[in-house]
Structure 1
Amino acid sequence: MTITQPDLSVFETLESEVRSYCRGWPAVFDRARGSRLYDEDGHTYLDFFAGAGSLNYGHNNPVLKRALLDYLERDGITHGLDMSTTAKRTFLQTFQDLVLRPRDLPYKVMFPGPTGTNAVECALKLARKVKGRESIVSFTNAFHGMSLGSLAVTGNAFKRAGAGVPLVHGTPMPFDHYLDGQVPDFLWFERLLQDQGSGLNHPAAVIVETVQGEGGVNVARNAWLRGLAELCARRDMLLIVDDIQMGCGRTGAFFSFEEAGIVPDIVTVSKSISGYGLPMSLCLFKPELDIWEPGEHNGTFRGNNPAFVTATAALETYWTDGSAMEKQTRARGEQVERALVSLAEEHRADVKEYRGRGLVWGLEFHDTSRAERVARRAFDLGLLVETSGPQSEVVKLLPALTITPDELDEGLTILARAVRETA
């Protein structure tokens, strides 16, 4: 695809140097529908990024868009803080009926600020309040957000360095597979908890991603997750599952922890919960943990009513029969896996590993600079993919759950070509 140089002058002169995604994708995007974006010059791009997982149902999903437009046209409440509104009531009832009750999950629902890191901050704050302890355990290569509390439980050295202040009260432990199976699960963690001389303060909670997206698409085994849940229960620590990117059906089931058969004490949800890319997050927790005083944790944008509307439409459209959505996602995931198997066999000397669940996959190269070259070439060929991992060594595939098999094949063909042409 031939791309003329876009006019980026206003972005380069006025916008901060903190810009990141736009550097790898030097285009000025104008519109989008489903799994495709279009730049202002009319070039088409297939999207295997999906708003970093915020667009599980694609761009401008017509059912969700119609619900939003109807709500706005009748002058529905757009800003309501934590006031009771019809949009919030409908969402809560729908979420309870279609998500919580079918899974026998007893959670209370809290609306913190509208971003994922707001939900994580809320979860950490609540855990510390409930347990009366400060320490939180996280895992190697974890990513939980960019605010200070979330950074303290994030592993990436580059992101942590941006804090500019000490990041305290967080202790990392090895994630599943981190020690290549040479050490029994949680041996180090258990030893530190048992040893009065270890220097580890008794943690209030453990926070974990079932699949580490930003950390390199590292997939935890179900047995490892069950072992972690058992350890937390036995050692009086709350278990927090960060389901911000992997929830809302990304791995198949609505919550990524369902397959492991565990029930976390606290769950953070954001990104695709609104269904339309509108800012929204939830902090879910067991009823006995709801010890907040009124207004103790608040925020001006903690009730995004337009997001309630699109979230409700997404649940009614895709999760009334959750098994159908889960089956489709798993089928699409198998389609991706077959393509990655073939790609890895073709490039045995270059591909270190492929891994994933549902519709999140990673392709890791021995040459840690290769992934960025592949992503850049894929963009030139009309495909948006990002990189992840501590050295950006993994090509990360995150297509919409609603992508068609033909679109998926098209994108995977482009990916294969990008790998060949960057050898």
Structure 2
Amino acid sequence: MALVSIFETLESEVRSYCRGWPTVFDRAQGSHLHDEAGRTYLDFFSGAGSLNYGHNNPVLKRALLDYIEHDGITHGLDMATTAKRAFLECFQDVVLRPRDLSYKVMFPGPTGTNAVEAALKLARKVKGRESVVSFTNAFHGMSLGSLAVTGNAFKRAGAGIPLVHGTPMPFDNYLDGQVPDFLWFERLLEDQGSGLNRPAAVIVETVQGEGGINVARPEWLRALRDLCDRQDMLLIVDDIQMGCGRTGAFFSFEEAGITPDIVTLSKSISGYGLPMSLCLFRPELDIWEPGEHNGTFRGNSPAFVTATAALNTYWVDSRLMEKQTLARGEQVEQALLSIVKGLGHRGVSYRGRGLVWGMEFDDKTRAGRICARAFELGLLLETSGAQGEVVKLLPPLVIPPDDLQEGLGILDRAVGDTG
């Protein structure tokens, strides 16, 4: 316990994940973590979605080591470097051009919330308006602008000041299909007495990860795109957790056939767990003045290196999506169906896309107990949802099928043990 005590005595009470996983981790490779006592854990957390290609992916690690041994630039602000050039060329050739996307690429600070702040700031600058519409159960980050468009009451309360200029609207199926999509939203927009200031933009997740694995239907997303076009609002898709292949295609919005005006990426864009984020937007929106949004660590060259290696390894064709993500997703779906059937469909449901899945329990405490029991059995899981009522599955996209099946078996046992 002496080794744990330094975390308890010196580190802030704000720490969270370590409370659910009370051990000291030492090494990780692929879909496994190892603690200092030598115990091995399967990882269905993947760094909250920042390790889509697994821990210490050997191809990405080799590229990073070669760059460091070459004395490549580590800290470059927004200077032109060979690492940044290689990434931009690769991103253009592998991601943007094949999808007929002409986005400009902005490097904000290397966190997801900074990408969201940049997107909100740019939308307001372009439209000359302050209001931004978000959705119920949304999560967009922990800085003040991002919190203003986040739904979770606990996280919002931490701001300590009023969170303004954000207006929530019902996410897909929030009203159980009893009200036509966007009826309330459009009525407010068109009614001069509604009190809704004309929004600059709408920000949305195609799958709400922290909000409980709430999956937007493609037709709902298309209707939202159409609404934004008709009402002169920019559409921002926050693809920080669901992008980089988590739902199958590189961008989670591809299935719906829409093109957002602004897209935020982070988490797995570096591929290696290194901090990195992007804000993408249509060229005509690029009205920034030089230095108008900057940050000391916006030029994270080691992340450029691993990101380039990830794109060249996994995204030059569709094999990752078809042979890994979607196939493994079907494996997860069948396992969850079996678990739900075993419970007689009582008090539990499941949903997801690609390799992001969730099990929701009517007993709001059960998901937390399942995750705790899973840890005891050697599996890392986290909860999501406004009350932590959803068990969230985020295994690496490259997880071997045997590892995935083993983890799903542990989940099945944990559900049974907490019944």
Same fold (TM over 0.5): yes
* Whole-Å separation in 2 of the counterparts to 1:100 and 1:370: 42
Q: State the secondary structure of the residue aligned to 1:392.
A: coil
**In structure 1, what is the equivalent of residue 214 of structure 2?**
218
CA contact (8 A) 1:252 1:327 kept: no
Q: 1:124 aligns with which of 107, 120, 123?
A: 120
Taking every aligned residue pair, what percent have the same amino acid on both sides?
81
* Whole-Å separation in 2 of the counterparts to 1:45 and 1:61: 17
1:40-59 CA deviation, whole Å, 9 max, x = no partner?
Answer: 00000000000000000000
Q: Which amino acid aligns with 1:407?
A: D
**In structure 1, what is the equivalent of residue 56 of structure 2?**
60
Larger deviation: 161-170 or 321-330?
321-330
Larger deviation: 320-329 or 296-305?
320-329
TM-score using structure 1 length? 0.98
**In structure 2, what is the equivalent of residue 33 of structure 1?**
29
With over 3 angstroms needed to count, the CA separation of the structure-2 counterparts of 1:64 and 1:351, relative to structure 1, is: farther
**RMSD of aligned Cα (Å):** 0.9
Is residue 372 of structure 2 the alignment partner of residue 376 of structure 1? yes
Q: 1:100 aligns with which of 59, 73, 96?
A: 96
* Whole-Å separation in 2 of the counterparts to 1:279 and 1:67: 16
* Whole-Å separation in 2 of the counterparts to 1:302 and 1:324: 29
Is residue 278 of structure 2 the alignment partner of residue 282 of structure 1? yes
Alignment of 1:10-409 (within 5 A): 10-348=6-344, 350-409=346-405
Q: State the secondary structure of the residue aligned to 1:7.
A: helix
Larger deviation: 324-333 or 10-19?
324-333
* Whole-Å separation in 2 of the counterparts to 1:116 and 1:326: 27
Q: Report the alpha carbon displacement of residue 350 of structure 1 after superposing the two structures with TM.
A: 4.2
CA contact (8 A) 1:56 1:275 kept: yes
Q: Report the alpha carbon displacement of residue 399 of structure 1 after superposing the two structures with TM.
A: 0.3
* Whole-Å separation in 1 of the counterparts to 2:112 and 2:72: 25
CA contact (8 A) 1:135 1:202 kept: yes
Q: Report the alpha carbon displacement of residue 353 of structure 1 after superposing the two structures with TM.
A: 1.1
Q: State the secondary structure of the residue aligned to 1:300.
A: coil
CA contact (8 A) 1:351 1:363 kept: no
Q: State the secondary structure of the residue aligned to 2:202.
A: strand
Q: State the secondary structure of the residue aligned to 2:41.
A: strand
CA contact (8 A) 1:253 1:326 kept: no
With over 3 angstroms needed to count, the CA separation of the structure-2 counterparts of 1:327 and 1:202, relative to structure 1, is: farther
1:235-292 CA deviation, whole Å, 9 max, x = no partner?
Answer: 0000000000000000000000000000000000000000000000000000000000
Q: Which amino acid aligns with 1:164?
A: G
Q: State the secondary structure of the residue aligned to 2:173.
A: coil
Q: Which amino acid aligns with 1:59?
A: H
1:31-75 CA deviation, whole Å, 9 max, x = no partner?
Answer: 000000000000000000000000000000000000000000010
Q: Which amino acid aligns with 2:248?
A: G
Q: Which amino acid aligns with 2:118?
A: C
CA contact (8 A) 1:31 1:39 kept: yes
Q: Which amino acid aligns with 1:119?
A: A
Q: State the secondary structure of the residue aligned to 2:292.
A: coil
Q: Report the alpha carbon displacement of residue 325 of structure 1 after superposing the two structures with TM.
A: 3.1
1:82-141 CA deviation, whole Å, 9 max, x = no partner?
Answer: 000000000000000000000001100000000000000000000000000000000000
Larger deviation: 174-183 or 322-331?
322-331
